[in-house]
Amino acid sequence: MPSSTPASAMSDRAVEIGQAPAQEQVYRPWRAIARKFFSYKASVVSLVILILIVLFAFAGGPLWKYSYAVSTSDLSAPPSWEHPFGTDHLGYDLMAGVMRGTQRSLSIAGTVAVLATLIGSIWGAVAGYVGGWADSLLMRIVDLIMIFPLLAVAAFLARQSQGGEHGWLLVALVLATLSWTVLARVVRSVVLSLRTREFVIAAKIAGAGPVRIIFRHLLPNTVGPIIVAATVLVASAILSETALSYLGFGVQPPDTSLGLLINQAQGAISTRPWLFYFPGLFIILIALCVAFIGDGLRAALDPKQQRK
Amino acid sequence: MSESVHIAGGTGAPLVSVSGLTVSFDRHREEPIEAVRDVSWSIGSGEVLALVGESGSGKSVSALAVMGLLPRNARVAGSIRWRGEELLGASEKRRRALRGSRIGLVPQDPMTSLNPVYTIGAQIREGIRAHQKLSEREMAERTLELLETMGIPHARERMNSYPHELSGGMRQRVVIAMAMANNPDLIIADEATTALDVTVQAQVLDALKKAQALTGAALLLITHDLGVVAGRADRVAVMQRGEVVEQGTVDEIFYQPASSYTRKLLHSIPRLNHTPDLSAPSDVAPDAEVIHSAFERKVGAEGAPILSMRNVGKHFPVYSRGVIRGRVGVIKAVAGVDLDVEAGTTLGIVGESGSGKTTLIRSLFNLEPITHGTILFDGQDVHRMPPRDRRRMRKCVQMVFQDPYASLDPMMTVRDILMEPAVINRMDRKLAERRVMELLERVHLKPEHAARYPNEFSGGQRQRIAIARALMLYPRLLVLDEPVSSLDVSIQAEVLTLLKELQKDLNLSYLFVSHDLSVVAEIAHSVIVMYRGRIVERGRVDELFRNPKHPYTRALLSAVPIPDPRTERRRERIVFNSDTLASPITPVERTGMWRRLFGGRTQEAS
């Protein structure tokens, strides 16, 4: 039908094809991804440990007989059945402290990771894909934020706010605003190499707009580097929070965080080492678990990584 | 040249003899994969042996094993003898002494095998220094001599050039010069001409042959292209899935192939059916106007053109080097092209890299807005269409890309890939789902393939998925940009057959771009030949290929490898000297002040 217009040709042929409906395919990509993730032993073990840590931190506090904010009569007691993690020189139970501290640190690290990853990857993808003056503008803003000295900004903000119940949220927000730039740079560089790939041009020819190309094609193909950067972000957020708390900003006693606990134990390394080891152990566990989970997630989301 | 006395087991120890070679690769948490199984071949001094096979046949792996360059996770068994000396298990020191001095390697991509931060002279000298004790001056002389032997013009100046300043063919000749620098006994050319245009390929193959003749070395030619082998090899070993299926002299393999696989390979090579008559010299000047060889435009005939281009041009600005980047001229990537695609037919566009064919077809999708000219689709000016019609036109023109590994989003399932054009263009979902299944069947894939990801498919299957995607929106014109160039020959034939079948059933029109003349001859009805942004010749396929008029077309045709040893040995190549044409850069007219300040910079950019 060379003479017919495109529109009528379309409906004609559509009718022809309508005759042969093939059997519907069961299509559940998420199930396949989950199955693949659970085939990675290290990732699954890490996930279980992380869930236990979360339960310990959030549910453990109310159940445990001591409170992080109330001191006991046992001063500087080493770990025992009464105080599994020991106590400090003021008689505060360390297990209660670690529970509360883990809760705060996890909240901060989680918020930072989610916010910074979201902002950073979208920012970087837009800069890399749109290019030209928009790219220059977006990336100069990134440069500007990167040269802000983290501690100076934090110290300034510390004066403005007075800790309080939501102090940790402020810490998280400040850390997120200062750390998403790393993701923006990583994502932009990957997108720059992806944008001229033929599958992107194919989508353009099919009529896809920039939003679809960025969210459907570019970002999914950047998921590997994004996850790697995000896991690093979790660990570094826990450590940055320590520095900020030290400066008297954000989480303040009697409230506590893992960083703060380690900080307070500084002077007691030789006399009461347990004060140092338990919070440290939790920081390492959390960072390792997140890294392994990230690794499994990256492999599970990437169809190029085959597993039997 | 050596005769075919060097058949394995003949008189005297061969230069290299490989017997019972098995190579497998250990994989992380998986069964090791066997790349080469019980392979035996040998090569005598001064002999040319071709290892032929499709991708994954293990031809490169066996050569790497000879070089001792297999990756760490490789397990090698069997025997590799060098003049009778066992190499497997030999010390790394001994093997390094052989590499570079006794064995020279010419890999596929000269851009990645040359170090971009050193001059080519320095890189050749480095190879000499590692194996010979020469003074700096002797070394410089030797380098110059090597480059001159390889036919590199202005060799003395070129020695100080960096790889990126040379063309692809030139770079490959530098690599050959490096391979022969120490007068090796064996030169291994691993797909050395695959990335090159036909005319350049012919030149590089001649250079290889010359290097071999001068050094008296044996040549191991690893290729997937039987045409390349025909005129140049003494003996051929055909490999398939890690095994040698057949070995013999080149005439035996081509005229009496014993195995069915060899026969299939030979059969699937696209051939120029009409051997061009190139005996009489061309009387056409290289810069003459477009030659219409027996080109009848049927005005008002039944086949009204679905696509017409009139005087279409695309210019790119050229900037001078330096701090102040003045615009010194334009490159006319496409310079005034007229073409028509008749409904239901295929128009082939032939040209080498840089001829402007890709720019031309991208202009169709407005990926590269044109500088001048008109594009008519179904008689309507594309640039003056109301938005509604333009959207409709977009559905009618779809594209298939060269590299099926790059053109499918690796993170999407086949179903999502096929659905995408439908979703974007708001096709009814139920209808689109059905269309996906119907198209999968059309391109000979199974419905259950829909849930899989592109990496689970072979190159040919992927290209069929790409074709299915292009068909989703019921197009009338398909633009095919080198759709089979990255596929193995047997797969090429399959995809070409599919395309022809689809054209007949769906009344599609094709704009088929390729640098491979034999592929175009197979599928196109009429052809245009592009050179440096211009059409130099056009006509019906049979006419143009039988009786090419333009010197460039003639050079192209004379360079196409023919899978017939006797014909190939007798052939003479026509070399097209591009210097007879003007530079593609047109300087910008500058007046007054500007000319006085920057006028002298035009030279730098060219």
In chain A, which residues have their Cβ closer than 8 Å to the Cβ of B406? Answer: 197-199
In chain A, which residues have their Cβ closer than 8 Å to the Cβ of B398? Answer: 205-206
A207/B421 Cβ within 8 A: yes
In the β-sheet with B380-381, what is the strand arrangement from edge to edge? B380-381, B372-377, B305-319, B327-342, B585-587
A199/B408 Cβ within 8 A: yes
Local confidence pLDDT in tens for the 308 residues of chain A: 344 444 433 333 333 333 333 344 445 567 778 888 888 888 999 999 999 999 988 888 777 777 777 777 777 777 887 778 877 777 788 888 888 888 888 888 899 999 999 999 999 999 999 988 999 999 999 999 888 877 777 667 656 665 566 677 878 888 888 889 999 999 999 999 998 888 999 998 888 889 999 999 999 999 888 988 888 888 888 878 877 776 667 677 777 888 788 877 777 777 778 878 888 888 888 888 988 998 888 888 887 765 43
Distance (Å) from the C-alpha of residue A199 to the closest C-alpha of chain B?
4
A2/B507 Cβ within 8 A: yes
Measured between CA atoms, the residue of chain B closest to residue A224 is B411
A208/B367 Cβ within 8 A: no
CB pairs under 8 A between A and B: 127
DSSP letters along B375-429, please? EEETTEEGGGS-HHHHHHHHHHEEEE-S-TTTSS-TTS-HHHHHHHHHHHTT--H
* pLDDT above 70 (res B12): no
Residue of B393, B420, B478 best to disrupt the A interface, most CBs of A under 10 A? B420
Q: What angle do CA B557, B362, B510 make, to 5 degrees?
A: 60
B473/A20 Cβ within 8 A: no
Collapsing DSSP states into helix, strand and coil, what is residue B104? strand
- Cis peptide leading into B71, omega within 30 of 0? no
Measured between CA atoms, the residue of chain B closest to residue A197 is B406
B599 alpha carbon, distance to own chain's centre: 39
Residue A86, CB-side half-sphere exposure with 13 Å CA sphere? 18
Bridge-partner residues for A34, per DSSP? none
Residue of B29, B345, B409, B418 best to disrupt the A interface, most CBs of A under 10 A? B409
- Would you call B380 exposed, middle or buried from its count of C-beta atoms within 10 A (0-12, 13-18, 19+)? middle
Q: What are phi and psi of B251, to 5 degrees?
A: -70, -40
Closest CA to A222 of B486, B373, B410, B50: B410
Distance (Å) from the C-alpha of residue A64 to the closest C-alpha of chain B?
44
A205/B398 Cβ within 8 A: yes
pLDDT tens by residue, B426-477 = 888 899 999 999 999 988 898 888 888 888 888 889 999 999 999 998 899 9
pLDDT tens by residue, B301-337 = 445 788 888 888 888 887 766 666 667 777 788 888 8
pLDDT tens by residue, B176-229 = 888 888 888 998 988 888 777 787 888 888 888 888 888 888 999 898 888 888
A203/B420 Cβ within 8 A: yes
Q: What angle do CA B543, B548, B549 make, to 5 degrees?
A: 125
Flag whether residue A221 sits within 8 Å of chain B, measured between CB atoms: yes
In chain B, which residues have their Cβ closer than 8 Å to the Cβ of A191? Answer: none
pLDDT of residue B280: 59
Q: pLDDT band for position B110 (50/70/90)?
A: confident
Flag whether residue A42 sits within 8 Å of chain B, measured between CB atoms: no
Closest CA to B66 of B23, B33, B37: B23
B431/A18 Cβ within 8 A: yes
Q: Copy the structure tokens of residue A261.
A: 């606990």
In chain A, which residues have their Cβ closer than 8 Å to the Cβ of B368? Answer: none
A4-305 homologous superfamily: MetI-like (1.10.3720.10)
Q: What are phi and psi of B450, to 5 degrees?
A: -60, -35
For residues B246 and B230, the answer to whether their CB atoms sit within 8 Å is: no
Nearest to A201 among B367, B394, B451 (CB): B367
Distances (CA, A) of A115 to A155, B111, B156, B261: 22, 42, 60, 58
Q: pLDDT band for position B107 (50/70/90)?
A: confident
Q: What's the CA dihedral at A256, A258, A260, A265 to 10 degrees?
A: 120
pLDDT tens by residue, B38-81 = 899 889 888 999 998 887 788 888 888 888 888 888 888 888 98
pLDDT tens by residue, B71-90 = 888 888 888 988 888 888 88
B29 alpha carbon, distance to own chain's centre: 36
pLDDT of residue A121: 94
Alpha carbons A203 and A215: distance in angstroms, whole number: 12
pLDDT tens by residue, B356-409 = 888 888 888 877 788 888 888 888 888 888 888 888 888 889 999 988 888 999
A27/B437 Cβ within 8 A: no
pLDDT of residue B399: 92
pLDDT tens by residue, B214-263 = 888 899 989 888 888 888 888 999 998 888 889 988 888 888 888 888 88
* B186-190 and B103-106 strand pairing: parallel
Distance (Å) from the C-alpha of residue B396 to the closest C-alpha of chain A?
7
In chain B, which residues have their Cβ closer than 8 Å to the Cβ of A1? Answer: 507
B424/A206 Cβ within 8 A: yes
Q: The tokens 């170090």 sit on which residue?
A: B115
Flag whether residue A39 sits within 8 Å of chain B, measured between CB atoms: no
* pLDDT above 60 (res B150): yes
Closest CA to B77 of B40, B130, B124: B40
Q: Copy the structure tokens of residue B274.
A: 């009409």
* pLDDT above 80 (res B298): no
Q: Which DSSP letter does residue B282 get?
A: P
Q: pLDDT band for position B604 (50/70/90)?
A: very low
For residues B526 and B345, the answer to whether their CB atoms sit within 8 Å is: yes
**Range in B186-200, B268-282, B403-417 with the lowest mean pLDDT:** B268-282
What's the rounded mean pLDDT across residues B111-126?
Answer: 85
In chain B, which residues have their Cβ closer than 8 Å to the Cβ of A217? Answer: 409, 411
Residue of B411, B424, B425 best to disrupt the A interface, most CBs of A under 10 A? B411
pLDDT of residue B277: 62
Nearest to A20 among B343, B411, B438 (CB): B438
pLDDT of residue B471: 92
ipTM above 0.95, yes or no: no
Alpha carbons A116 and A178: distance in angstroms, whole number: 8
What's the rounded mean pLDDT across residues B341-346?
Answer: 90
Alpha carbons A181 and A304: distance in angstroms, whole number: 28
Bridge-partner residues for B161, per DSSP? none
Bridge-partner residues for B531, per DSSP? B534
B401/A2 Cβ within 8 A: no
B412/A220 Cβ within 8 A: yes
pLDDT of residue A158: 59
Distance (Å) from the C-alpha of residue B435 to the closest C-alpha of chain A?
7
pLDDT of residue B602: 41
H or E element: which one contains B3?
A: none
Collapsing DSSP states into helix, strand and coil, what is residue B582? coil
Alpha carbons A70 and B579: distance in angstroms, whole number: 91
pLDDT tens by residue, B479-497 = 999 888 888 888 888 899 9
In chain A, which residues have their Cβ closer than 8 Å to the Cβ of B474? Answer: 6, 9-10, 13-14
Which domains, and CATH codes, for chain B? Answer: 1-102+184-267 (3.40.50.300), 117-182 (no CATH), 291-587 (3.40.50.300)
Cβ neighbour number for residue B552 with a 10 Å cutoff: 28
pLDDT tens by residue, B547-567 = 888 888 888 888 887 778 887
Collapsing DSSP states into helix, strand and coil, what is residue B239? strand
Distance (Å) from the C-alpha of residue A232 to the closest C-alpha of chain B?
24
In chain A, which residues have their Cβ closer than 8 Å to the Cβ of B415? Answer: 25, 27
In chain B, which residues have their Cβ closer than 8 Å to the Cβ of A194? Answer: none
A279 alpha carbon, distance to own chain's centre: 20
Alpha carbons A3 and A5: distance in angstroms, whole number: 7
Distance (Å) from the C-alpha of residue B466 to the closest C-alpha of chain A?
9
pTM, rounded to two decimals = 0.78
Q: Copy the structure tokens of residue A18.
A: 């309508």
Nearest to B392 among A2, A6, A303 (CB): A6
For residues B563 and B271, the answer to whether their CB atoms sit within 8 Å is: yes
Closest CA to A234 of A156, A148, A155, A292: A292
In chain B, which residues have their Cβ closer than 8 Å to the Cβ of A17? Answer: 434-435, 438
Flag whether residue A217 sits within 8 Å of chain B, measured between CB atoms: yes
In chain A, which residues have their Cβ closer than 8 Å to the Cβ of B344? Answer: 2
H or E element: which one contains A97?
A: helix A94-130
State the sign of the Cα–Cα–Cα–Cα dihedral B603, B196, A304, B37: negative
Residues of chain B with pLDDT > 70: what percent?
86
Alpha carbons B299 and B591: distance in angstroms, whole number: 46
In chain A, which residues have their Cβ closer than 8 Å to the Cβ of B395? Answer: 6, 10, 207
Closest CA to A248 of A150, A152, A158, A175: A158
Nearest to B434 among A21, A199, A216 (CB): A21
Closest CA to A278 of A45, A109, A40, A92: A92
Domain residue ranges of chain A, discontinuous segments joined by +: 4-305
A207/B391 Cβ within 8 A: yes
Alpha carbons B170 and B295: distance in angstroms, whole number: 36
In chain B, which residues have their Cβ closer than 8 Å to the Cβ of A303? Answer: 410-411, 453-456
Distance (Å) from the C-alpha of residue B492 to the closest C-alpha of chain A?
20
pLDDT of residue B295: 41
DSSP letters along B431-483, please? HHHHHHHHHHHHTT--GGGGGS-GGGS-HHHHHHHHHHHHHTT--SEEEEEST
